[in-house]
Amino acid sequence: MAFWDNLSQKASETTVKAMQKAKEMSDIAKLNSMISEEETKINNTYYQIGKLYVAMHSHDYEEEFAGMITTIGEADEKIKSYKQQVQDIKGVACCEQCGAEVQAGVAFCSSCGAPMPKVQQTNTEDLVRCEGCGAMVKKEARFCTSCGKPMVQLVTSEKVDEPMMVNEKVEDKVEDKVCPVCGAKVEDDAAFCTECGNKL
């Protein structure tokens, strides 16, 4: 009988020790998590201090900071260049007013209607002059992006001996959503015309 009592006592002690060990491990994990949170706060504060210092002293910094501030400036320029390359590949531009991505070369943002900066056209081989207003537009455009006049000469000049092509182009034009003010083709979900800025 004493054997069983002794065995039961040892089992009970082992259980208590295991529970105590588990509680210790849990407490350690909680404390480590709290330490990590405080370290994150410190690192974020250091980051904010550094960012604020660079903003306030970008031109009158102390000599010890020269290398780091130069590195930040160079990295920032590279980021801007990379972002521009991404936009060029996607064929979009960012609206300065609302940050939305819109098709490159449009006059107004399709999300907020803000004017988009004028983009200098470099490849003139793909452009033709509008007979209505004289603006240069892409050859494949069906409407002038400045005045909205239909670019009829593009349809008739491609293949004169195939009149069915003209009919097909007209049918395509009917299916596309167009701005009621300037007649420019607009995206189905656009809130504003990208050519005249009219709210759709």
Written as one string, the DSSP assignment of 173-188 is: HHHS-B-TTT--B--T
> Domain boundary residue among 87, 112, 140?
87
In a domain, 181, yes or no: no
Same domain membership, residue 63 and residue 9? yes
In a domain, 73, yes or no: yes
Which of the 8 DSSP states describes residue 63?
G
In a domain, 72, yes or no: yes
Same domain membership, residue 75 and residue 10? yes
Nearest-angstrom CA–CA distance, 17 and 161: 96
Q: Write out the residue range of the structural domain in which residue 145 sits.
A: 121-175
- The reported pLDDT for the residue numbered 160 is 41
- The reported pLDDT for the residue numbered 49 is 95
Mean pLDDT by 10 residues, the chain (200 residues): 67 84 94 97 96 90 90 92 87 90 88 81 65 75 76 48 46 66 80 77
In a domain, 132, yes or no: yes
In a domain, 49, yes or no: yes
Same domain membership, residue 128 and residue 82? no
pLDDT in tens, 99-131: 899 988 888 998 898 998 876 544 556 778 778
Nearest-angstrom CA–CA distance, 181 and 200: 9
In a domain, 200, yes or no: no
**Cα–Cα distances in Å, from 93 out to 86, 87, 124, 193, 200?**
10, 6, 20, 15, 21
- The reported pLDDT for the residue numbered 84 is 87
- The reported pLDDT for the residue numbered 125 is 63
**Domains of the chain: total:** 2
